[in-house]
Amino acid sequence: MWQELGIAFCLMLVLEGILPFLYPRRWRAAVLGLAEFKDRHLRLMGLSSMLLGTGLLYLLH
């Protein structure tokens, strides 16, 4: 199980690095835009992401 968790973490890092590598200016603008969001909106986005990821894992497994 720990090996799969490590692989998943490494893949997450690769996927998260694609946008800043390909489009650094757009990525920076997006991050600066996120800094202006209220905490509630960021929490809702995080919750939505976690629920979507959990649902997709369930469907794929």
CB atoms within 10 A of CB 27: 14
Name the residue range of residue 20's domain.
1-60
For the chain, the distance separating the N- and C-terminal CA atoms, rounded to the nearest angstrom, is: 15
Residue 57 confidence (pLDDT) above 90: no
Q: Which residues contact 20 (CB under 8 A, 6 or more apart)?
A: 27, 28
pLDDT tens digit sequence for 9-53: 999 999 999 999 999 999 999 999 999 999 999 999 999 999 999
Global pTM reads 0.69
Residue 61 confidence (pLDDT) above 90: no
pLDDT at residue 25 in the model: 96
Distance CA 40, CA 43 (A): 5
pLDDT at residue 60 in the model: 87
Distance CA 12, CA 36 (A): 25
**Secondary structure (3-state) at 10:** helix
Number of structural domains the chain divides into: 1
